[in-house]
Amino acid sequence: MTIHPAPASAEAVPTAGEQARRVVRRWPTLLLVWGLVLLLALLLGLLTPRSYTASTEVRVNPLSSVVTAAPSAGQKVEIATERKIAASEEVARRAHEQEKRFGTQQLRSHVSVSSDTGTSVLTFEAHAEDAGQAADMADALAQAYLDQRAEDVDQAVDEAVRHLDEQIGGLSPEADEQQVRRLREARAQALAAPRQAGAVITPADQDEHSSSPGLAYYLLAGLIGGFLLGVVAAAVRDRTDPRVAFPDRAAQILDAEVLEADAQDLPEQTALLWRRWGLRPGVQPGSATVLNLPGDESIGRLVADSLQETSGAETHHLSLTGVDARTAEELDRSQRLILALSPTTRRRALRRLAADCRRADLEVDAVILLR
């Protein structure tokens, strides 16, 4: 028989040790939640496709430096504009025409274009379920952008030459020879200017390491997260369970010690209970009344029969929901009052009975929780 002392206060805040013990005794709930979360993590790890990342870096040359032969150190690339052009549907369509494996929308959704402020470098970053495919997509879009920009450079040069030709053709025969020479030199410089719009400075690498979490990551998250959720679920379960379930919960309600016993050794335990009261069975049996709440009648009869068998005392059995004045008077005639509970006894009903007993000034000599 296990004796659980009454708590110092019915409203006492449980210590960390007590709370841990309450969680441990709800181990089925903890293991169930832990197992479900771990299983979910395993399924996610197996079903979530792996993702690989590959990046291609492109240096962008200013258009003005290819249109005019003279260097233009003060001129810079509008990198924000170039980033939008590189990520446009037109460039993606051009990449699709050059590399039929990838669709236009696939390239736009799987490849992002970024740049650092103050630089003239574009970074094409591709994400795919295959490392080689990611590298190919990044390279394809980067090359399509360079081809598109090369066409723009050619058009800019052709437009400059056409404009110079119009100026030269529009000169009168009496035009200044120096002016004619200057225009022809500008035309020659435009035609001879380098037309490289940019270049790939870092091609994409087929990284064999996935950028997405692997199965081990999901299992670790499931182990840790499942355990924490299981602890929370066990604590909530213990707090919200409407049943008495455990002796300390009954002790908290009754502010009395609760004895826990099994049905098999109940006769031996009830004999020990008589000796604890200082009574010798068969010599000073006295009388006893066993109380139980509705639904626990079988428990009450079992405890009453055991008390009578082990002591020879006149033992009565009473099932009640509350204690009125008449019932209190009858119970007061009994030498010993024993309250019999089962783990399924409802805590709300037990609180009502405990309140009635306190109002009637009835002292319960023992509380037995029979499993």
Mean pLDDT by runs of 10 across the 371 residues of the chain is 45 77 93 96 89 91 56 65 92 92 92 89 92 91 92 80 77 70 75 76 78 85 96 94 90 84 82 72 64 88 84 78 78 80 91 85 84 83
Concatenating the DSSP letter of every residue in 240-269 gives H--B--SHHHHHHHHTS-EEEE-STTHHHH
Residue 5 vs residues 28, 260, 332: alpha-carbon distances, Å: 26, 11, 24
Which residues make up the CATH 3.40.50 domain(s) of the chain?
Answer: 243-370
Instruction: Find all residues with CB under 8 Å of 347, minimum gap 6, and list them.
Output: 242, 243, 244, 249, 253
The whole-number pLDDT of residue 318 equals 83
| Residue for token pair 């290819």 | 66
Q: Among 309, 306, 312, 360, which Cα is nearest to 338's?
A: 306
The whole-number pLDDT of residue 174 equals 65
Record the tokens describing residue 67, joined without a space. Answer: 């249109």
Q: Give, in degrees to the nearest 5, the angle at Cα 146 between 143 and 130.
A: 25
The whole-number pLDDT of residue 209 equals 65
The whole-number pLDDT of residue 284 equals 52
C-alpha 245/C-alpha 233 separation (Å) is 17
SS3 163: helix
The whole-number pLDDT of residue 9 equals 46
Q: Where are the alpha helices (DSSP H) in 58-213?
A: 64-67, 79-86, 89-98, 104-110, 131-169, 177-192
Q: Contact, 273 vs 323, CB < 8 A?
A: no
Q: Contact, 5 vs 257, CB < 8 A?
A: yes
Q: Among 316, 317, 368, 306, which Cα is nearest to 343's?
A: 368
C-alpha 341/C-alpha 293 separation (Å) is 8
The whole-number pLDDT of residue 66 equals 41
C-alpha 184/C-alpha 353 separation (Å) is 113
How far is C-alpha 357 from the chain's CA centre? 48
Instruction: Find all residues with CB under 8 Å of 103, minimum gap 6, and list them.
Output: 96
Q: Give, in degrees to the nearest 5, the angle at Cα 144 between 142 and 149.
A: 95
C-alpha 57/C-alpha 231 separation (Å) is 49
Domain 243-370 architecture: 3-Layer(aba) Sandwich (3.40)
The whole-number pLDDT of residue 307 equals 82
Residue 197 vs residues 61, 101, 340, 345: alpha-carbon distances, Å: 5, 26, 92, 84
Cα torsion at 345, 351, 355, 358 (round to 10°)?
A: 60
State pTM to two decimals. Answer: 0.60
> Would you give the DSSP letter of residue 333?
T
> Would you give the DSSP letter of residue 102?
S
> Would you give the DSSP letter of residue 346?
B
| Residue for token pair 């009754």 | 254
| Residue for token pair 């970053």 | 125
The whole-number pLDDT of residue 74 equals 43
Q: State which H helix or E strand residue 29 sits in.
A: helix 27-47
C-alpha 299/C-alpha 291 separation (Å) is 10
The whole-number pLDDT of residue 271 equals 79
